[in-house]
Amino acid sequence: MEQNKTWHEKHTASLAFGQRLADSVARGMGSWRFIIIQSVIVILWMGLNVVAFVTHWDVYPFILLNLLFSTQAAYAAPIIMMAQNRQGERDRAQADADFKTNVEAKQEIEQLLAKLNSIEIEKLDKIIEMLKQICPDKSPSSPSL
């Protein structure tokens, strides 16, 4: 059953939990959905702190919000780099699989060419034999014009 798996399925199956988690976090953070949700939260955060009737938990210049963004960036950067490293591994695995496929295809083409050449030689030999039978007095090596 292992041979029926594609290179991508084999690569995905070999990933550890942390690697899969990093990939999914990076995929989520690199989406429009994440950007839109984060923008809505920031707008609400700032709006509620500017017009708060009772309490301002993060007054202008929004130092707590800035701290949250710094913490998010401190964790996001290495997670995204881990995902990019794995993308490089996936690309290398795909290139290796493509190379193996190309080598196998080249071998098959070479075998087909050899077979076609042998068929052509056999055909030519049969044609020469037929010509000898039709014209026994003339040799095929010295054609007359």
CA distance 123 to 132: 14
pLDDT digits (tens, 9 = 90+) for 76-129: 999 889 888 888 888 998 899 899 999 999 999 999 999 999 999 999 889 998
- DSSP assignment letter at 136: T
**pTM as predicted:** 0.58
Q: What percent of the chain has pLDDT over 70?
A: 90
Return the CA Rg of the chain.
Answer: 35
Q: What pLDDT was estimated at residue 14?
A: 81
**Which alpha helices (H) appear in the chain, and where do they start and end?**
7-13, 17-29, 32-50, 63-134
Q: What is the mean pLDDT of the chain?
A: 86
